[in-house]
Amino acid sequence: MIGRRLVVVVLAALAMPVGARADDTARPLASISSLVKPSVYVHLRNGGEMAGALLRVTDDEIVVVVNAAETRIPAANVSMVEVPGDSLKNGFFIGAGIGFGLGLLAGASANDDDFGAGSIAAVSLVEAGVFGLIGAAIDALIDGRTVVYRASAGQSGARRLSLAPIMTARTKALLLRLHF
């Protein structure tokens, strides 16, 4: 019984959102000129997106070549800038989390007395590693993008929605937050 509660607590902890931290993409627009690749995706405040080759960036505007034409986009109209490619870390961590959870579930469901807490931890860590590598491999097959600039919420008018589980002895609920 304690093993099953441990599994529920660990899975709930894995499902909880990570605490907020400063967004490393919140910087002046001109500071991305040395970070970006020649190809960029510029997201506009009106919901549109422009893909093209980066020509230059200042604090006032970003200039992109789209269809062989120079396009100037005022900084006030830019909500986000992305470049092709992304890290495989997120795929690894998603896979590792799934593998670790499955390892805990497998250990908790085993009825063998020889299968103790140390064995459960070992199986969970091995499965976390294996599933993490599988997750990274799947992530490598997907063409992703990396955000190099994001306007602050006040500038872009961006809205965020977050959903988090709340689990106590008596309560099982979902917390829904809308930031605007």
What's the pLDDT score for residue 155?
47
pLDDT above 60 (res 9): no
Domains of the chain plus CATH, in order, are 29-85+144-179 (2.30.30.100), 87-141 (no CATH)
Q: Are the beta carbons of 131 and 92 closer than 8 angstroms?
A: no
pLDDT above 50 (res 21): no
Give pLDDT tens digits for 62-81.
888 888 889 999 988 888 88
pLDDT above 90 (res 133): yes
Q: Are the beta carbons of 95 and 132 closer than 8 angstroms?
A: yes
